[in-house]
Amino acid sequence: MDADEQLKQRIADEEEIQNINYTFNDNKHIIHFAALYNNMDLIKKCLSSGVGVDVKGGKYQSTPLYFAVYNKNHSTMLLLLENGANPNYVNLSKNSLQKICICRGDILSFLLLDIYNVEKHLRSRENDKSLKLAVKLRQAQFVNYLKKRNEISYKLVLFFAVIHFISFIYDADSYIIVMLFVSYHNLLIYIKFMFYLNIYYSILFSIELVEYNLACVILLIPYYIAFYRLTRSKTGTKTGDKTEKIKIVREAIRKRKFNEKEFCAICLRYKNTDTKHCNNCNVCVDGFDHHCPCLDNCVCAKMSALFYFYLLYSITLCFVRIVLENSLNTRFNLLVVFFVVVLLFRVYVNLRFLVYRERKRDQ
């Protein structure tokens, strides 16, 4: 074993190194291998001796931060970044640190680079590139991290406005036009489509009930209260302040919980055993059951009772609607029956899942 290899082994074993200014054959400095092997004491010694935090070395003129990213040494990355390491430097391979993280699926390293990137214009430009790359490589975690929070789809609002206009002009059933639009255009790519459809038919359904008998308003009140609570309940939160983000990350690294199993890089919070990150809401949800597209919200353990009430009450209203007015449009009645069947199936699936989860807990 030559001198270079012996010294590398000593660095990996965290032995005392006397010659801090030693240079390897490939022009790498001791601090590069200290970053690679997560030898934080040696890194501190190098920095205190005047070694630059962004000293370049190797075939591609990489900085110590590159070596820390290669081995996913998050504590070393934190130390280097806090001492002024440049997260925007690109070595001769033309691969930025952010690109390396995305290609390797290392969301936690990407988070560290992002929150310590003080140059806003560079950060914004790099994030745009990163988002395109994440979509191309189908890295869902990075897409969720970089994308904006779900906002109201004005395309869908316009879509329904057009449908109502056509229905009014041609005296046609709106739901038929909806189905025609869906048949010829892949509008289901919008997650809010089912939510808007639910609102539309809820209003249409309510109007027909009230037209039959004004007293039906009393029946509709519990339905809309449950609907409002289920759609407006906050199932998770995110930290937006940069100072708070850095504080949370430091604490997670110190507690050795900065890993994907115990920490969510998107929401910057610790995970419980029943916590799951919802890709639609883009937040972590404690007691996650499922994401309901018709409510555009997650159903968690604390809301499950209300959710089942909402389902059963919806089924009851559908049967009331059919019983009260047999002369109404047959096609609409068929739609209602289909809706009831879907709701019953959903209740059945959820009950089976609850039984399975309880059995797993007992084991």
Digit-coded pLDDT (tens) for 324-349: 665 455 555 555 666 666 666 666 66
User: What b/e sequence results for 212-250 when a residue is b if at least 16 CB atoms lie within 10 Å of its CB, and e otherwise?
Assistant: eeeebeebbeebeebbeebeeeebbeeeeeeeebbebbe
**Residue 108 in tokens:** 């936690």
> Is pLDDT above 70 for 269?
yes
| Tens-place pLDDT, residues 211-257 | 777 888 888 899 999 999 998 887 666 666 778 888 888 899 988 89
**Which residues does residue 29 pair with via DSSP β-bridges, in sequence order?**
23
pLDDT band at 187 (very low <50, low <70, confident <90, very high): very low
Note the pLDDT of residue 66: 96
Find residue 276's DSSP bridge partners: 285
Are the C-beta atoms of 146 and 127 separated by less than 8 Å? yes
b/e map 37-69, b = 16+ CB within 10 Å: bbbbebbebbbeeebebebbbbeeebbbbbbbb
Worst-scoring range by mean pLDDT, 165-169, 186-190, 337-341? Answer: 186-190
Q: Which residue has the higher pLDDT, 109 or 317?
A: 109
pLDDT for residue 110? 92
How open is the CA angle 179-181-187, to the nearest 5 degrees?
100
Residue 182 pLDDT more than 60?
no
User: What does the block give as tokens for 310?
Assistant: 């909402």
* Alpha helix segments (H runs only) across the chain: 3-12, 30-36, 40-48, 64-70, 74-82, 97-104, 107-115, 120-137, 140-146, 154-170, 174-184, 193-212, 216-232, 242-254, 304-324, 330-362
Q: At 60, which amino acid appears?
A: Y
pLDDT for res 186: 45
Which of 248, 243, 12, 244 lies closest to 108, judged by CA?
A: 248
Q: Is the pLDDT of residue 200 over 90?
A: no
User: What distance in Å separates the CA atoms of residue 127 and residue 125, rounded to the nearest whole number?
Assistant: 5
Within 8 A by CB and 6+ apart from 140, the residues are 279
CA-CA-CA-CA dihedral for 333, 338, 344, 349, to nearest 10: -170
What end-to-end distance do the CA atoms of the chain give, in Å? 53
pLDDT tens string 42-87: 999 999 999 999 999 999 999 999 999 999 999 999 999 999 999 9
> CA nearest 31: which of 50, 5, 13, 59?
50
Place of tokens 């030898």: 39
Confidence of residue 150 (pLDDT cuts 50, 70, 90): very low
- pTM score: 0.69
pLDDT for residue 157: 57
Return the closest-CA partner of residue 18 out of 7, 5, 27.
7
CA angle centred on 320, ends 316 and 324, rounded to 5°: 175
Q: What rounded mean pLDDT belongs to the chain?
A: 79
